[in-house]
Structure 1
């Protein structure tokens, strides 16, 4: 049996925060604002996995009202989410994701992100797709006020 999930996450970009994306620290003048490290890509992947199994969303499992998650590394949230997926008898087949941001350009970091995500989830690097696009300077993304990530996952039972 297969299950498909889709996730999306948004965060505001602000001065003075580290910029974490796909589990990788990227040099930039702004970082995403959030209760955790605000890694939108990992959060979107978590939501996609949770959604595929009708398990709610990342905020339900790791609420921003819980001090235990203040500043937490989103790689830990990804690992814990995947443990929940595994406990339901499912394994990941692949991930396809898109990051929407005006700056910085992330192409040179994509391979590190894919390797990081694949390592956490026990996937081959070729099973993790990360694409990026700008919004041609349109909207809050184009004004460099925020970042968005989307992710789609395919899960298979009993692999």
Structure 2
């Protein structure tokens, strides 16, 4: 996110190796197709440090009223720069550019976290995990996702549904959309039927359309348990 691009640590994202075959996927030999591999989860010590660090900030926030449902919106945008990994929804997407950020720059997970925090009436992701804290340097955004889900359950809510839209000119995400959505469902502990993911170009307009940035919007509905 532009003002809160400082966040999260490890989980079980999956990495994909770049394609070396330019023909249809069915005609590519297995060795030329993207390979998926799990990234390491954070150590218990890292997870404990995350909880201990921002617990005071969360505890200071007012307890949300016991409404039957709550709606939250999240937005994030990152500049794309050469020779950086492009992580979207915890998945390493083959591309010649990646997000410049204090953390791993995962634009999708950042805006999902902000949507959940917003629905709960809590501080945004940049306040809870500030980019001034060196511990979040290169951090995996799944840590922040898990914390947001934990706060949601502690407040007495569960995910009703989530609708997310990614905006980027390149690369095409159709080969990776289901993998991204599956990983997002895993992090949320949600059934795939309540998690929707869309990807759109920006028709070559402004920084998004010129492949100089990537953005995401997310809307969540939380239901009282």
TM-score by length of 2: 0.69
Question: 1:69 Cα deviation (Å)?
Answer: 1.1
1:41 and 2:94 matched: no
Uncovered stretches (5+) of structure 2, i.e. residues with no partner = 1-67
SS of the residue 1:43 aligns to: helix
More strand by share: 1
Instruction: Find the counterpart in structure 1 of residue 156 from structure 2.
Output: 89
1:71 and 2:138 matched: yes
Instruction: Find the counterpart in structure 2 of residue 128 from structure 1.
Output: 195
Structure index of larger Rg: 2
Q: Deviations over 1:48-102 (max 9, x none)?
A: 0011111021101111111111111111111111111111111111110000100
1:61 and 2:128 matched: yes
1:17 and 2:84 matched: yes
TM-score by length of 1: 0.97
Uncovered stretches (5+) of structure 1, i.e. residues with no partner = none
Paired residue for 2:172, among 90, 105, 117? 105
Indicate the RMSD between aligned Cα atoms, in angstroms: 0.8
- RCO higher in structure (CA 8 A, sep ≥6): 1
Match runs of 1:128-147 below 5 Å: 128-147=195-214
Task: Measure, in 2, the Cα distance between the counterparts of 1:126 and 1:68.
Answer: 35
